[in-house]
Amino acid sequence: MVIRIRPVAPFVFLLFILLTIATVSIGVGESPAAQTVSVQIDLPATRDSAAPTEALTAPSETAAQEEEVYIPRLEAPARSNACYYSDENIFYACGYGMPNCTCYAWGRAYELCGEKPELSPNDACMWFDYNRENAIYSYGDEPREGAIACFAYADGGSGHVAVVEEIGADTLTLSNSAYSGTEFYTETVPRDDPTDGRDNWIFQGYIYPE
């Protein structure tokens, strides 16, 4: 068999060359785009791009630090403060509101803890033993900010409770209220003798509401 090849017209051959060149151009044109994507992915973050992250994390760190700062109460609570002056306070609700050391100390613990404390509903002289016997809060002999100092009376009276507001090298500042007496007051006492030398007072220890 004899195969004959027909001559290709010049314009057909030219068209074939043009199509080939166009195809090669398209194939080559795809590589720069791929390279561009690769470059964009590999680019390191600039200092400016890190700034927003620092700006977002800074407030949370500041808030955490602020939460750890103890704010002492050195002035009387406002009458609008429900921790002290409302039926939220168990002593106020029973008719034993301020001036009253138990109403005040219970309200101060409520204010500091953010929830109703599980402290004794009885006289101040019973608070320390009540807490210890029921294993409610930790307790001890060392003062802490916000701790409740508990006292009994040697003559068998109702006792007293106060709240540690400031701790110095040798002194403590306690916030108080006195039953049928002063609505609110602070006093500075020796750190090693919270009774401040009162012969009738017996220091029982501190309760640490948390």
Mean pLDDT in consecutive groups of 10 residues from the start of the chain, 210 residues: 49 54 46 44 45 42 62 98 98 98 98 97 98 98 98 96 98 97 98 97 97
Question: Looking at residue 50, what is its pLDDT?
Answer: 43
Question: Looking at residue 167, what is its pLDDT?
Answer: 98
- On whether residue 14 sits in a domain, the answer given is no
Question: Looking at residue 15, what is its pLDDT?
Answer: 55
pTM over cut 0.85:
no
- On whether residue 110 sits in a domain, the answer given is yes
Q: Residue 143: which domain range?
A: 90-208
> Which CATH number does the domain housing residue 154 bear?
3.90.1720.10
Question: Looking at residue 210, what is its pLDDT?
Answer: 87
- On whether residue 165 sits in a domain, the answer given is yes
Question: Looking at residue 172, what is its pLDDT?
Answer: 98
- On whether residue 42 sits in a domain, the answer given is no
- On whether residue 119 sits in a domain, the answer given is yes
Question: Looking at residue 18, what is its pLDDT?
Answer: 57
- On whether residue 17 sits in a domain, the answer given is no
Tally of structural domains, the chain: 1
Question: Looking at residue 12, what is its pLDDT?
Answer: 47
Q: Are 182 and 101 within 8 A, CB to CB?
A: no
- On whether residue 81 sits in a domain, the answer given is no
DSSP for 44-108 reads PPPHHHHHHHHHHHHHHHHHHHHHH------SPPPTT-TTTSSTTSHHHHTT--SS-HHHHHHHH
